[in-house]
Amino acid sequence: MRDRPSPDSITLWALRVLWLAVPFTVGAVFAGALADHSRPVRFVAFALAWAGWAVALLALLVPRIHTLTAVRVLVPAALAAAVWALGAGETGAMAFVALAHAATSTFVALLPIVGDRFVDGSSYGDERRFLLRAPGLLLLGPIPLAWALCLAGIGSGPLLLAARQWVLGAVVSAAGFAVAFLMARSLHALADRWVVLVPAGFVLHDHLALNEPTLFQRARIVEIRPALAGTEATDLSARAVGLALEVRLDQPLPVFASPGRRGGTSEAITLSAFYFTPARAAAVSAEARRRKLVPS
């Protein structure tokens, strides 16, 4: 008897199917909205759109930590294209179908279960990785802005060159590619944060909280539970919004706090209890129980 597909695999396959259909909905209205532009502009716009679609499809087929960043940058770009087409005058039924399709694809791509599937794709041996939530304040503006600058940096220069704005296009291309690289690297830094459960215990891999990945040994863990309001445990959540998990140890453990957390310098601190915020706290707790990381 075959094992049933896991929820994360089902969700990822659903996203792949949604993305395969994007050229038939978003692509169609995007092409219609470009009809009044010059042939070179249309050519460059189509080339950028197809390249982005292909890179995202490849990333969806190879779920890893690095490809998660590509997916979460490029899949929402389809939503931006659908919104732009609607604003450019494409108001038929297909435009609204494309908008709904792109919005659904973006929603699924940003689900925590999808993030977990990608970071766990880079696991080794008997370990399980879970994504950590981004700091709450970054979600209110810096992350969307970085995403927009990344896309604009890639596309603006080539489109200006296609429109025969040679000097401006060259300048914007050079600056834009540099900005896109920096924004993509910043966005990836937020995805490159996880908790990994291993046979020896679990590792908190979060450069925003700790100077280096830190192993908390199974023998030292007393309790893993939802963090309560007003807890005196050390905050290693990077001020993320969501359900945090609190870990209590049987004896203090010296670690080095992240330079960013301590005002630019790495500082030694001692942990006897701390909390962090995974994207799916319930899934982390369930896996910890399955691995018997917490004494029964």
202-231 residue pLDDT tens: 999 999 999 999 999 999 999 999 999 889
At residue 33, does pLDDT exceed 60? Answer: yes
Tell me, what's the pLDDT at 91?
Answer: 81
Alpha helices (H) in 192-293, listed in sequence order: 281-290
Tell me, what's the pLDDT at 4?
Answer: 75
Give the model's confidence band at 152: pLDDT under 50 very low, under 70 low, under 90 confident, else very high.
very high
Please work out, in degrees rounded to the nearest 5, the angle formed at the alpha carbon of residue 47 by the alpha carbons of 192 and 90: 100
Tell me, what's the pLDDT at 258?
Answer: 82
Tell me, what's the pLDDT at 262?
Answer: 53
CB 114 within 8 A of CB 12: yes
Alpha carbon distance 9, 56 (integer Å): 17
Give the model's confidence band at 1: pLDDT under 50 very low, under 70 low, under 90 confident, else very high.
very low
Which of the two residues, 70 and 90, has the higher pLDDT score? 70
Alpha helices (H) in the chain, listed in sequence order: 7-20, 22-33, 39-61, 65-87, 93-109, 112-120, 136-139, 142-162, 166-191, 281-290
CB 256 within 8 A of CB 207: no
* Global pTM value: 0.92
pLDDT, average across residues 69-90: 95
Tell me, what's the pLDDT at 43?
Answer: 97
CB 278 within 8 A of CB 286: no
Alpha carbon distance 152, 143 (integer Å): 14
At residue 285, does pLDDT exceed 70? Answer: yes
Alpha carbon distance 148, 196 (integer Å): 31
Give the Cβ contact number of residue 63 at 10 Å.
21
Token readout for 283 is 């899934």
The per-residue pLDDT for range 110-146, each reduced to its tens digit, is: 999 999 999 999 998 899 999 999 999 999 899 999 9
Start-to-end CA distance of the chain, whole Å, equals: 32
Tell me, what's the pLDDT at 264?
Answer: 61
Which residues, including other chains, have CB under 8 Å from residue 286's CB and lie 6 or more apart? none
Percent of the chain topping pLDDT 90? 86
Percent of the chain topping pLDDT 70? 96
Tell me, what's the pLDDT at 90?
Answer: 83
